[in-house]
Amino acid sequence: MMVSSVVWSAPIKVVHVMANHGEPYLEFLKDRKAAFEAKYPDVEIEIFAQQVDYTTKVQLMIAGGSQVDVLDSTHSFMAFSFHDALADLMPYARANNINIDRGMLAFAKPVLMKDNRLFGIPGQVYGVIPSYNRTYFEEMGVTPLRDLPEEEWTWDWLLKNGPRLTRDVDGDGIPETYAVGFPTSFISLSPAINQAGGSMFDSYIHPRRALMTSMPVRTGLGFYVSLKDRGIGVPQNTAAYYSRRYNAIAMHSAAPDPDTYRGPGITDVFEAVIHPKGPVRRGGQTFFGPFHVPIDSKQPEWAFRWIAFLGLTEESQVRMMEFTGRMPAHPPTLRRLENYLAMFDEHKRNWLLQVRDACIHADSYPQTLTQAEGAIARFFNPAWNDVVNGKTPLESFLETMQPLMQAELDKLFME
């Protein structure tokens, strides 16, 4: 009797632990899983959705010996990169003939690359950009921002035209509509500082020095204060901006806003624009939801192939946009975005293209990633509100914030 034996090899498994991105994003990953597994029959992608306390949970999973090959959270990227716990993906990019310079937006490189090592791939772009009420502009006889030559859209334009966009209907001295709504939280105030030529910190990732007493910080935050002092600016109320014309321009808008606030009775047309030019440049902060691979991954090469399939291929980036409405981060896809918007109505198509143009502007920059963010925000935000409300002079605020913020950064690097 002859006995034949067949040796079955277990498939290669890649475990992707998804952060709290919502059900549409999970459906996108499932769609891409099916496509990837069809292309590579010997590979299995396991998707595990961790909806709560993501970074802590994945750290515990890895410490306990569970397989974790792919992460997709900005906060986990920040924590793992601080402890040198992310795999260098550049050797796999070279082995697979992937041109990172072509496939990655320039603003992502200061965060995701170091010393020619690659620690993540952008998965999407979430740009923080201004928007304005075009309908209101036209009613007030002011040229809509998208119709202005780019060089005219500046801080000076805002200060000059702000009174024309501010309206006190009932004459009680309190405008029903202000010209500008500006942000009031620590993490969202950096655009004006960037436009003044600087930053709150010495690095976009794991900064060691606070720069709160530098001239660009004084100038940038001082611009927000001047809007309030002149009676043309107000802390932003996003819902009231869309529903009650609380302000004509919102300096802190993002891609999902029009979908969220296109409610009953809202007929005004809103448009997105690039940031105004300050004394030095334009530009606002961008978030990019990186895919990254922990250094303890059991399948780092296949994990790279999977995230490259998600973030560096046109098909997957378009599918992500179709499932979630989010903006692709892949430059070739962005350049051809007009070709992929047939599934959206005219309003959404126009908005996405406007956001695209603002996000890919050469002056865009990444969100600063520091694990001190939460601690700083707890004392920064109420103190800044006191400045906006005229209770504390800006200079006193800056002098107070500098040592407090520096102390929080120093704690991170203490042995």
The string of DSSP codes covering 261-275 is H--TT----EEE-PP
Domain map of the chain by residue range?
Answer: 12-126+289-340, 129-283+367-412
pLDDT in tens, the chain (415 residues): 444 444 455 689 999 999 999 999 999 999 999 999 999 999 999 999 988 899 999 999 999 999 999 999 999 999 999 999 999 999 999 999 999 989 999 889 999 999 999 999 999 998 889 999 999 999 999 999 999 999 999 999 999 999 999 999 888 989 999 999 999 999 899 999 999 999 999 999 999 999 999 999 999 999 999 999 999 999 999 889 998 999 999 999 876 666 666 667 788 999 999 999 999 999 999 988 899 999 999 999 999 999 999 999 999 999 999 999 889 999 999 999 999 999 888 888 898 899 999 988 999 999 999 999 999 999 999 999 999 999 999 999 999 999 999 999 999 998 5
DSSP tag of 53: S
Query: What is the model's pLDDT at position 399?
Result: 98
The answer to whether 335 and 353 are in contact (CB under 8 A) is no
Query: What is the model's pLDDT at position 298?
Result: 96
Architecture of domain 129-283+367-412: 3-Layer(aba) Sandwich (3.40)
Query: What is the model's pLDDT at position 260?
Result: 64
- Cα torsion 219, 223, 224, 226: sign: positive
Structure tokens at 140: 């007030």
Query: What is the model's pLDDT at position 202?
Result: 97
Query: What is the model's pLDDT at position 10?
Result: 62
Query: What is the model's pLDDT at position 51?
Result: 81
Helix then strand then coil, in percent of the chain rounded to 5, is 45, 15, 40
Query: What is the model's pLDDT at position 238?
Result: 87
Query: What is the model's pLDDT at position 253?
Result: 87
Query: What is the model's pLDDT at position 306?
Result: 98
Query: What is the model's pLDDT at position 4?
Result: 42
Query: What is the model's pLDDT at position 11?
Result: 84
Name the H helices within 186-268: 190-195, 215-229, 238-243, 257-261
DSSP tag of 141: T
pLDDT digits (tens, 9 = 90+) for 71-130: 999 999 999 999 999 999 999 999 999 999 899 998 899 999 999 999 999 999 988 899
Same fold, 12-126+289-340 and 129-283+367-412: yes
Residues 6+ apart with CB under 8 A from 99: none
The fold for domain 12-126+289-340 equals D-Maltodextrin-Binding Protein; domain 2 (3.40.190)
From residue 176, alpha-carbon distances to 139, 160, 179, 226, 240 in Å are 15, 19, 10, 19, 11
Closest C-alpha among 25, 93, 22 to residue 307: 93
**Burial environment of residue 151 by CB neighbours within 10 A (0 to 12, 13 to 18, 19 or more):** exposed
Pairing of strands 126-127, 285-287: antiparallel
